Amino acid sequence: MKKLLAVLVLVSVLCVSGAAMAGEKLTVYTSMKESLIGALKEAFVKNNPGIDFDYYSAGAGKLMAKIAAERESGKMTVDVLWHSEVPDFYQLKKEGILEPYVSPEAKFVESPVKEPEGYFTPVRNGTLAITYNTRFIKTAPTSWQDLLKPEYKGAFGIANPALSGTAYGSVVALAQQFGWEYFEACKKNEAKMGQGSGQVVDDTAMGDLLACIGVDYITTDKINKGATLGFVYPKEVIMLPSPVAIMKGTPNLAAAKKFVDFLLPKKRSRSSRTAARFPCGPMWSFRRIRCFPIRMTPSSGRSCSTLRQ
C-alpha cells in the first residue's frame, strides 16, 4: 500500500511538473513590423521566460479579416490584438469580444484616445511624416504641399487605407487638416497607391517612388540598414495612437495581461523603448514638433475606396 501511495504521489508530482514545464502561451496579432515586434518579443520573453510567445504580423485590414474568419469558425487563436486603426477597437468593444483590463501602468499613458473601462489601451503614439529617396531628391520636401509639385508627379506613394490602419489614419488626418481637395490634387499629380505601409517605404528606397507617407520606425529601420532614405517632419506631423486589447474568453488571460503591462510605461525595457520610438508615456515630449492627432469617433470606419484610381 505504501509503495502504491508513493507511486501515485510521484505520478502526481510529474504531472504537475510537466504542466509547469509547458508554461503559458500567448499569441499576438499585430500590424507592427518585424523590426518592432521582433525586438519586443525578445525583451518580453527575457522578462517572462515561462511564456511561449507567438505572433502574426499583417496590416490592420488583414488582421480584422483573420479575426472575423476565426470567429466564424468558432476557434479563436488570437489572445491580444495590437494595431493602429482605433475604430476597429470601438467596434470590437461594441460587439462584446474584448476583455476589459485596466493595467496598473495605464495611469502613465498620455494619448488623445481614452478608454477608461480598459477594453483597449493606447500603448504607442506613432508618427507619420515624409519619407523620400536621397539619391534622387537633393532638396528635401518641407511640407505636404511640396509633394504636389511637378517633380513628384507619378512618384509619390500612399499605402492602401483599406489594408493599413496607419494609412487610413494618415488619410483621415490630412483630410481633416487640408480637406479632401488635397487628395484630389494628389490624384491629379498621379500619386500612387501601394499595399501596406512597409511596401511604400520599400518602393521609395528602391527608387520606384521618390517619396511617400512614411511610418517613423519603418523608415528609420531602413535607414539604419543602409537605405538611401530621408525622413522629414513637416510643420503638421501625423500622430496615431496604437491601442492594444485582450480578446474575451482567451485561455491565456494572465499572459495577455503581462504583455499589456509590459508595453506600457514603467514596464518596458530599454531595448523595446528604443524600438517603440514614441511610447505613450510622460517621459517623451512632442514639444519640438507640432503633432495633430486624428479625431476619431466610435462610428468611424475604413471607407477610403474613393482614393483608388
Spatial contact of 200 and 158, defined as CB atoms under 8 Å apart: yes
CA torsion angle 155 242 61 294 (round to 10): -60
Q: Is 243 exposed, middle or buried (0-12, 13-18, 19+ CB in 10 A)?
A: buried
- Domains of the chain, with CATH numbers? 2-124+242-285 (3.40.190.10), 126-238+301-307 (3.40.190.10)
- Residue partners of 8: CB distance under 8 A and separation at least 6: none
Task: Give the gyration radius of the chain's Cα atoms.
Answer: 22
Quote the pTM value. 0.68
Q: Per residue of the chain (309 residues), what is the pLDDT tens digit?
A: 445 444 444 444 444 334 334 578 999 999 888 878 988 999 999 999 999 999 999 888 899 999 999 999 999 999 999 998 888 999 999 999 999 999 998 888 878 788 889 999 998 888 899 999 999 999 999 999 999 999 999 999 999 988 887 888 899 889 999 999 999 999 999 999 998 888 999 999 999 999 999 988 889 989 999 999 999 999 988 888 889 999 999 999 999 999 999 998 764 433 333 334 444 443 233 323 333 443 333 434 433 222 333
Give the chain's count of helices (H) and strands (E).
10, 11
